[in-house]
Amino acid sequence: MFRLALLMTASALLPGEVTFHKDALPVLQARCQGCHRPGEAAPMSFLTYSATRPFAKAIREAVLSKRMPPWSGEGHAFRNDPRLTPAEISTLVSWADGGAVEGDPRTAPKPIPFVDGWNIGKPDVVLTMEQPYRVPASGVVDYQYIVVPTNFAEDRWIAAVEIRPGNRNVVHHVIALVREPGSKWLVEAKPGVPVTREPNAGITTQPLADLPEFLLSYTPGRPPAALSPGQARLIPAGSDIVFQLHYTPNGKETFDQTKIGLIFAKEKPRQRVATLPISNRGFAIPAGDPNHQVSSAARIAREATIQRLIPHMHLRGKAFQVDVVDPAGRRETLLRVPKYDFRWQHAYELAEPVPLKEGSRIDCTAWYDNSPNNPDNPDPKRIVRWGDQSWDEMMLNYVDVAVSPDSDPRNVLARPAAQQGASGVKEKFYGVYKLVRFTNEFKDGRVEHPYGPNSVGRITYDRAGRMSALLMNPDRPKPANVPVGASAGSWRNASETEMRAVMNGFVAYNGLFDVDEAKGVVIHHVKSALNPNWVGTDLIRSYKFDGKFLTLSVDYPTSKGVLVWEREPD
């Protein structure tokens, strides 16, 4: 159908010659020049005929394959969707196929009046790192945090903001954070002096009330986010801007001096916009797994609207999805990214804001390819967990919400999954437990003890994301012809009846585990087990903590299995 539309559109262009100035340039202005101009992310400029002509064939191939402009989102209408229409593709293809003719310059549209160095227009104020940061020629550079004071004597509403790296060749990403006066976050950092993040001091592990406010992020190729008329972000008086900088050495020692430009709102806005994180820090992606799923969620405690979504993973990221579940349980998919590309990390601006009712839930689901078939995989033999560097992973989705200007947007999310990671609910599991009782409770009121009334067991969860479980009936009959301490081969002397009794009274398995707090379940990813049918499967159990006791339960067709465990002293 798309090819037919393309051919029909192309045929409509045949009577007149397709030229650069009259036909191709308007498309390039509308869709490409934001990046394809000097000083921007693209390596070549499409402002003039002489600069564009050498790339006519490459443009043709890129637009036909839909590789350019880059875009990965589905599921909703997005106002920043840069994809070309069939007519626009046809125009560029026809221009290239027709010899990339220049045509009459008098037919060209007026040039777009870009502000040199800025996409948002001329800023009201520009804040710059006090001194350049030296990026070494090689090695790993930890995340750097640099404080830039605003010296604002009064609250400032920000209508537009843009981050400009000083050296795009080595800047992997930048996040600008607003640190309010009195904040204890990075309290030891002095203005202009780089600080390396300490363990557990990250922006996704702290209580929301203590978080610095996310102002904007930069990644190559992502244009600044646009706010609607009547919307603005808030920078309170006396706040600092803290740059989080991720540098990637490229073989040559160099320097970066990143800056940020701000345009002030002319009046108090109708809505305040803020960016909130939803993440899962407690995952462990098994080695070689081609489709490992990780979930996170956040409950809505205050009404708001969603404006924008920014999913973030690293090199093993495969796909991402964001859903909203209303209080009645109805689910709506806001965003699907079926082919996540670490090189093009988009922000998805919803064409129409989506209202969030109190009691709703935002569900985020990520899939990872940790197999050898992933050409970007740094090491498919490694279990992968949360980490800053690209060879580690992240499961993170930023959500832009809009609230009234006098509301605190941090109250919108109640216990987001950003709080659930290694310092949250998963941490409650860490330890060794002994079995208190194992019962099978039937719907007709009967209660059975599958491994006898004196069943014993141990279950272990460790900080590396591993788990193991063992349960048995201590009263199992001992095989008559198998001596105590006998080798494994001696079990051949046991009868079939004796072996069945032994096996029916024993279970053991181990693997990795994840916790989905939104669903109230712990997921055991089984890697080895006495029962071979369990290997490679997920055993999902509901959980409940009560002091030192952990209750795990699973629903069967006619009954519920309930296991009560008691944590042993450390």
- Cα distance between residue 489 and residue 215, in whole Å: 66
Residue 483 maps to a domain: no
- Cα distance between residue 197 and residue 245, in whole Å: 11
Over residues 495-510, the mean pLDDT reads 85
Give start and end residues of each alpha helix (H) in 101-176: none
The whole-number pLDDT of residue 202 equals: 43
The whole-number pLDDT of residue 204 equals: 42
- pLDDT, one tens digit per residue, over 29-88 is 988 988 888 877 778 999 999 999 999 999 999 999 988 988 888 888 888 888 899 999
The whole-number pLDDT of residue 221 equals: 64
Domain check: are 56 and 191 in the same one? Answer: no
Asked if residue 472 has pLDDT above 80, the reply is: yes
The whole-number pLDDT of residue 16 equals: 62
Over residues 16-25, the mean pLDDT reads 90
- pLDDT, one tens digit per residue, over 87-100 is 999 999 999 999 99
Domain check: are 362 and 332 in the same one? Answer: yes
* pLDDT top residue among 483 and 175: 175
Q: Which helix (H) or strand (E) holds 61?
A: helix 56-64
Domain check: are 100 and 153 in the same one? Answer: no
Contacts of residue 7, defined as CB under 8 A and 6 or more positions apart, other chains included, come to none
Domain check: are 305 and 406 in the same one? Answer: yes
- pLDDT, one tens digit per residue, over 442-453 is 988 899 999 999
Around 390, how many Cα atoms within 13 Å sit in the side-chain half-sphere? 15
Percent of the chain with pLDDT over 70: 90
- pLDDT, one tens digit per residue, over 202-247 is 444 444 445 678 899 888 767 777 788 999 999 999 999 999 999 9
Residue 487 maps to a domain: no
Find the range with the poorest average confidence among 297-306, 318-327, 498-507.
Answer: 498-507
Strands (E), 371-423: 396-403, 413-414
Asked if residue 429 has pLDDT above 50, the reply is: yes
The whole-number pLDDT of residue 439 equals: 94
Strands 231-235, 271-279: pairing is: parallel
Over residues 318-329, the mean pLDDT reads 92
Domain check: are 251 and 299 in the same one? Answer: no
* pLDDT top residue among 252 and 169: 252
Q: How far is CA 77 from the centre of its chain?
A: 20
Structural domain including 41 reads 2-107
Over residues 422-430, the mean pLDDT reads 70
CATH (domain of 432): 2.40.128.280
Report how many domains make up the chain: 4
Contacts of residue 522, defined as CB under 8 A and 6 or more positions apart, other chains included, come to 429, 513, 514, 515, 516, 540, 541, 543, 552
- pLDDT, one tens digit per residue, over 185-199 is 888 888 999 988 643
Domain check: are 76 and 179 in the same one? Answer: no
The whole-number pLDDT of residue 1 equals: 43
Residue 486 maps to a domain: no
Domain boundary among 237, 269, 301: 269
Over residues 9-31, the mean pLDDT reads 76
Find the range with the poorest average confidence among 4-13, 93-102, 418-427, 545-554.
Answer: 4-13
The whole-number pLDDT of residue 43 equals: 83
